[in-house]
Amino acid sequence: MKQINLDQVQADLTRWETGDTVDEAALLSYAHWSRATGQRDELIRTLTLLATRRFRQTETVDPLLSRWVKELESLNALPPELRVSQLNGRLRRFRQSLHVEWPTLREADYASMKVQILTEYELKTTALLDQLDQLHDEIERAKSDLRDSEFKDQLERLFDVVIEAMQEVAALEDDTASLLGSMQGNYFSREAFGRFGERVTLVKGKIEAIAELLPEPKRETRSSGIEKLETMIGLTDVKARVKAWYRFLLFQREREKAGFSSKHQPSLHLVFTGNPGTGKTTLARLMAEIYFELGLLSRPDVIEADRSSLVGAFVGQTEEQVMNKVKEAEGGVLFIDEAYALKRQDASGSDYGQAAIDTLVAAMTSGEYAGKFVVILAGYPEEMRHFLLANPGLRSRFPESNHYELPNYSDEELVAIGEKVAEENNYVLTLEAKRALLAQIDRERVDATFGNARTVHNILLDAMFHKGSRFGAEAPLDEMALLTELDFEDTSTDEEALLSLDDLVGMDEAKRQLAEIEALITIQKRRRELGLKTAPVQLHASLVGNSGTGKTTFAHLYAQLLKRAGYLKRGHLKVVSRADLVSGYVGQTAQKTKAAIRDALGGVLLIDEAYSLSGGPNDYGKEAIDTLVDEMPKHGENLVVILAGYDAPMRRLIDSNPGLNSRIKRTIHFEDYSIEQLVQIANNYADKFGYTFEQEVEDALRERLGDMERPNARTALSLIDEAIARQSYRLVDKDGADRELNRILVVDINTKL
């Protein structure tokens, strides 16, 4: 358990009791510590702050609050505010249980009917007396608990009325028995019958008097769309525009009520643009509620659609699918996410996206559904802009004033969203957990596909999973309500992280430059933390050398180092070649290159044999280089580019392009491995899989490698792979082979498969 000082606890509690804010995570820790150390007074103060704060926030008794209330009750320290809330909840239940439907008794009824009705009265009076007795005890306890509160007089009045009601119900029970006893055949005493009727009236009056003093049942209040909009985090400008639009629509409605006609009605159709998780779908649902509340729609429902549900595969199917969605959305909102996907730029004649757009425009402006539904289009800002420009008919139905761009959330807003998600699941984030959440958000935010609120929601769900998987059924109560930095730790394993600089054979210059880069990043980071000016860190590089000299392995290590130093968010390596970047059509090479860059964001993009991009005048490789040069500065520290290849062609490529020359200033040379280094590489590789070999095997390896022209690391690894295969074939049918399974012999090296 974390060391906590009693003086610190008392000081914090005093400050929070008199202030506006509290640290709920710290309070949970203090509660756990107070229980464990027997600090009763501090436990009461801590639980009181926790319980009253949660009650004021939620106005409901959730499972966690219920536990705190029970613990405070056991300590005889439940605060009046919570006691009143608890009492009101119980009194509401009594209000329901005291309601009794009394059957009507008539003199003209048959004897059997009279007996049946009076027997029912006996059962109901007994049950009612039991409920009144419980209510009497509840009020008596509350009078003691709240004797110094403002509710004292109200409880006294209720207590007196309950006693009077108990007396009348008991008398009714006696009158019912007397009336039954007075029956002779089909008749009973007129006097007893009259007294019974008067008593029933008195009982009904007393129960009504109790009901008037009991709290009304809670009614669910449905907040308006504008009120819900206000509860959303961030979106300041969007909120202001929506509220202005709302006031305008109110104004239009009042003008119509006053008899003023408007020849031109404003378009209700909307366009929401923004990156993923910025609230487009949520805002669409709120706009549907607002339109419904203003009487502009007959229902507040949102029907969601996308390309897959609108565009068909053959002639006529698209029109049918679009009209089915329009019919489904009648009276409400048709929300089309990623609307630009309806018409693709590279669409062929068999693509019916334009038919979907034409059918939708026609349904919005004419026919039986015109004016009976609202369309909201949503998607990325740039794609939506091009999409609307390419479709004049659609653009005219969505005026610029009805376009809303939802910005990305700030760090503070994303953390606030995380706190809200935690609160909705009865969790509290510690201060360290908020920092860990922010760090994880920063790692995820590498390109335009960052999911904003959606990403934060997923991070919180993962943290809750980690919390549960760590504790299982053994979690203490307070841990059930806390999310700590441990719950946000990245538990994924990176295979490349197992590789270290010391594992590499040779590569002396590469190791030296890698150590130099690490030192440079470390010192510049320290200068930034001290508020000093920092020098630019040139991280783009060219790796030159023959095949099999360790360039790709080095690139993996380089990405790993940059992630560890906090420079790169993901630290992955994206390896591409000419085929991954160059296409045979104008414009497609730029798209493929941008896609490769997007996949590499937050890590390292390694272009192997990069010189192959410098073809002739009609070669599209130049387009790939130009796109790369243009994109590199746009992504800043979010992208590191490495070009790899043979020395001379790489020099010609970089010297031929001023853009590349200015951006890639570091060149790392990789010398060919010596025979001894290749033997060491082979030995390390075999050891990785649990294989060993003697000196004579090393000699055989040296001989095989020496007979080859320009052997490299790949050659050495291939020799070990072949030896393992040969050894397996040699031992498969041999008796006692288990003793030799881990040994490679000379015969396994020298015998070719």
Secondary structure, 3-state, 28-56: HHHHHHHHHHCCHHHHHHHHHHHHHHHHH
By residue count, the chain amounts to 753
305 within domain boundaries:
yes
487 within domain boundaries:
yes
Domain check: are 73 and 179 in the same one? no
Domain check: are 365 and 395 in the same one? yes
DSSP state of 184: B
The domain boundary, picked from 495, 526, 560, lies at 495
Give the pLDDT confidence of 5-41 residue by residue, as tens digits. Answer: 788 888 888 888 887 677 888 888 888 888 888 889 8
The angle at the Cα of 468, spanning 464 to 471, to the nearest 5 degrees, equals 140
Round to whole Å and give the CA distance between 742 and 748.
12
For residue 569, give both structure tokens: 């968010």
557 within domain boundaries:
yes
As to burial, measured by CB atoms within 10 angstroms (0-12 exposed, 13-18 middle, 19+ buried), residue 731 is middle
What was the pLDDT predicted at 668? Answer: 92
Round to whole Å and give the CA distance between 352 and 354.
6
Q: Contact at 8 Å (CB) between 486 and 418? A: no
Neighbours of 53 (CB within 10 A): 16
Pairing outcome for strands 270-274 and 482-483: unpaired
DSSP 160-177: HHHHHHHHHHHHHHHHHH
What are the φ/ψ torsions at residue 270 (nearest 5 degrees)? -130, 155
| CA-based radius of gyration for the chain | 39
Round to whole Å and give the CA distance between 260 and 615.
71
Domain check: are 529 and 616 in the same one? yes
Domain check: are 513 and 658 in the same one? yes
Round to whole Å and give the CA distance between 91 and 89.
6
Domain check: are 260 and 374 in the same one? yes
What was the pLDDT predicted at 382? Answer: 85
109 within domain boundaries:
yes
The domain boundary, picked from 473, 495, 517, lies at 495
502 within domain boundaries:
no
Q: Contact at 8 Å (CB) between 521 and 537? A: yes
The domain boundary, picked from 469, 495, 521, lies at 495
Round to whole Å and give the CA distance between 54 and 72.
14
Domain check: are 516 and 615 in the same one? yes
Domain check: are 328 and 371 in the same one? yes
Interacting residues of 203 by C-beta distance below 8 A, sequence separation 6+:
165, 168, 169, 172
Q: What is the total count of domains within the chain?
A: 6
Pairing outcome for strands 639-645 and 573-576: unpaired
Q: Contact at 8 Å (CB) between 291 and 266? A: no
Q: Contact at 8 Å (CB) between 286 and 319? A: no
DSSP 606-674: EEETGGGG---TT-THHHHHHHHHHHHHHHGGGEEEEEEE-HHHHHHHHHH-HHHHHH--EEEEEPPPP
What was the pLDDT predicted at 273? Answer: 93
Helix (H) or strand (E) holding 291: helix 280-293
DSSP 128-170: HHHHHHHHHHHHHHHHHHTTTSTTHHHHHHHHHHHHHHHHHHH
3-state secondary structure of 378: strand
Range of the domain at 659: 508-664
Round to whole Å and give the CA distance between 470 and 157.
54
Domain check: are 422 and 395 in the same one? no
Query: Which parts of 430-572 fold into alpha helices (H)?
Result: 431-444, 453-471, 477-480, 508-529, 551-564
DSSP 496-519: GGG--GGG--S-HHHHHHHHHHHH
88 within domain boundaries:
no
Domain check: are 376 and 433 in the same one? no
Output the CA torsion sign for 248, 253, 257, 261.
positive
- Domain with residue 742: its CATH number is 1.10.8.60
DSSP state of 336: E
624 within domain boundaries:
yes
Q: Which of 635, 644, 636, 633 is nearest to 667 (CA)?
A: 644
Domain check: are 240 and 357 in the same one? yes
Q: Phi-psi bin for 318: left (phi > 0), alpha (psi -120 to 50), beta? A: alpha
Round to whole Å and give the CA distance between 464 and 647.
52
Regions of the chain with pLDDT less than 70: 1-3, 20, 58-63, 186, 217-223, 344-351, 448, 477-478, 490-503, 586, 615-618, 736, 751-753
Give the pLDDT confidence of 563-590 residue by residue, as tens digits. Answer: 888 788 788 899 999 989 988 776 788 8
Domain check: are 437 and 361 in the same one? no
What was the pLDDT predicted at 413? Answer: 92
Domain check: are 271 and 371 in the same one? yes
86 within domain boundaries:
no
